[in-house]
Amino acid sequence: MTEARGSAGSGGTAHTRYASGTPCWVSLMAHGLTATQDFYSALFGWEFRPGPHQLGPYARALLHGEEVAGIGQLPPDRHLPVAWTPYLASDDVDSTAESVRLCGGTIGVGPLDAGDAGRLAIGSDPAGAVFGLWQAARHLGTGVTGVPGTPAWNELRTFEAAGVVKFYETVFGHERDTGADADHITLKLAGRPVAGIRGMGNTLPRNRGSHWLTSFQVADADDALRRVRDLGGRVLTPVQDDPRGRVATVADPEGAVFSVVEPRG
């Protein structure tokens, strides 16, 4: 599978096909579907339309007519963490799921068909961080990036980066790029950065454990934080300078954690 890019009408980058191992979609499972949609609609300007219901009520978020993320509803009897989950593209979900198991990870859901949209599985790496697998059919993944309201980056937050990077190299074919900080690794495919791994040691939140953190692009980080507060969310870390731009970490009203990033330039 290769990734094709083009110019999107909204000014971002349009995506038609994601290379295997590339984060291609992000999805949130929440308790209150309507209230959660209202929060993200007001924050990012998303609109919603129904998606596959194999895992229960589910809607796809659209920005300028392009699909950018998904939000589903957790069953009322399942007390699972409310969290954003990145999906990594796969040419063959069944084969990738088997590789996950053989390399010390687990598969908790699937593989299963999501109607005619594609085939999915949800698993976790050996440190317990949850991610999805997506084999595209009609639904290719996030349709546009590079503009406010779209996913900008996914980073694995774990205790020790070196302890888990081999899993991603083996299962997804990622290459590692370690800079001056050995506990901050960039994952690449064909030389292109696709995700990051940050070892946090004892600063890793005990109530969360290893987890993937999704960043969404915004036009103004300070304004985004004001809107998060006004909409009932929380600011977890204030705006800080980062190689990617001005970044802050927040939580929605149900506690799902994500970052907002105002790119440099």
C-alpha triplet 204, 123, 121: angle, nearest 5°: 145
Q: What is the distance between the alpha carbons of residues 66 and 57, in angstroms, rounded to a whole number? A: 20
CB 75 within 8 Å of CB 44:
no
List pLDDT tens digits, range 170-185: 999 999 998 767 789 9
List pLDDT tens digits, range 36-49: 999 999 999 999 99
List pLDDT tens digits, range 56-95: 899 999 999 999 999 999 987 777 789 999 999 999 999 9
Residue 51 predicted with pLDDT over 90: no
Place of tokens 């909409």: 231
Mean pLDDT of 218-243: 97
Instruction: Give the pLDDT of residue 170.
Output: 98
Mean pLDDT of 95-109: 98
**221 backbone φψ class: left, alpha, beta (φ>0; ψ -120 to 50):** alpha
Mean pLDDT of 162-169: 94
Confidence of residue 244 (pLDDT cuts 50, 70, 90): confident
Instruction: Give the pLDDT of residue 243.
Output: 86
Q: What is the distance between the alpha carbons of residues 201 and 218, in angstroms, rounded to a whole number? A: 29
Angle between helices 165-172 and 93-102 (to 10 degrees): 150
Residue 163 predicted with pLDDT over 90: no
Confidence of residue 105 (pLDDT cuts 50, 70, 90): very high
List pLDDT tens digits, range 6-36: 444 456 666 668 999 999 999 999 999 999 9
CB 72 within 8 Å of CB 29:
yes
pTM of the model: 0.93
Rg over alpha carbons for the chain, rounded to the nearest Å, is 17
C-alpha triplet 10, 13, 15: angle, nearest 5°: 115
C-alpha triplet 132, 179, 249: angle, nearest 5°: 50
